[in-house]
Amino acid sequence: MKSLVIFLFSVLLAGFVLSSCKDDNVTYAEELAAEQKIISDFIKRNGISVVTTMPSQPWPAKVFYKSPSGLYFRLTNAGDTQSNDTVESGDLIVPRYIQYTLTAKPDTLFNLSTTDFEYPSKFNYLDFTQACVGWHEAVGYMKRHNSEASILVFSRIGFTQFNRPATPIGYDLKIKIQKNY
């Protein structure tokens, strides 16, 4: 009986030692591969078509443009097309957005409406210290006051809190432009 207890204890100890030696660290390359899979699965699950040439107005249903940077962009409302004003460097951008994960059961992470807050979020267009590269690129495509878009942002062009682990984020974005005259 004593030898059986010693044997079982040895097996448990060996199992513990071997399991503690297992490398649970995920490399950045593995994170990026997982991120790509999340986006691919999201696209497939939602029946999205991806094109590499910007569509003309009006955009076909469920079509996203994939830019060279990796941003997936879909213009849902061209905004104030009666005006010749378009966004320029330094213009103040006041966004309203819904931020969500792209997982099979997406979570809304943040919902910001300029009417909900006295001091809304804002940034100057092309001042990359104020917003992520993906947002600036999207605003450049949106161009006009009150335009709306859906975007899928890879971690490398997104906000820093989504860099590690590499996490893609979706946004439904509407912008108001205050000209910098």
Q: How confident is the model at residue 109 (pLDDT cuts 50, 70, 90)?
A: low
CATH number 3.30.750.24 given to 26-178: no
Residue 96 has pLDDT above 70, yes or no: yes
Provide the 10 A C-beta neighbour count for residue 158: 22
Contacts of 4 (CB under 8 A, 6+ apart): none
Displacement of CA 113 from its chain's centroid (Å)? 18
Residue 6 has pLDDT above 90, yes or no: no
Q: What is the predicted pLDDT for the residue at 21?
A: 44
pTM assigned to the model: 0.81
Provide the 10 A C-beta neighbour count for residue 175: 25
How is the chain split into domains, by residue range?
26-178
Q: What is the pLDDT of residues 153-174, one digit of tens each?
A: 999 999 999 998 999 999 999 9
CB 152 within 8 A of CB 134: no
Q: For the chain, what percent of residues have pLDDT higher than 90?
A: 64
Q: What residues form DSSP beta bridges with 111?
A: 98
Q: What is the pLDDT of residues 31-60, one digit of tens each?
A: 999 999 999 999 999 999 999 999 988 899
Comparing CA positions, the residue from 92, 181, 180 lying closest to residue 131 is 92
Of the listed ranges 96-100, 136-140, 165-169, the least confidently predicted one is 96-100
Q: What is the predicted pLDDT for the residue at 18?
A: 45
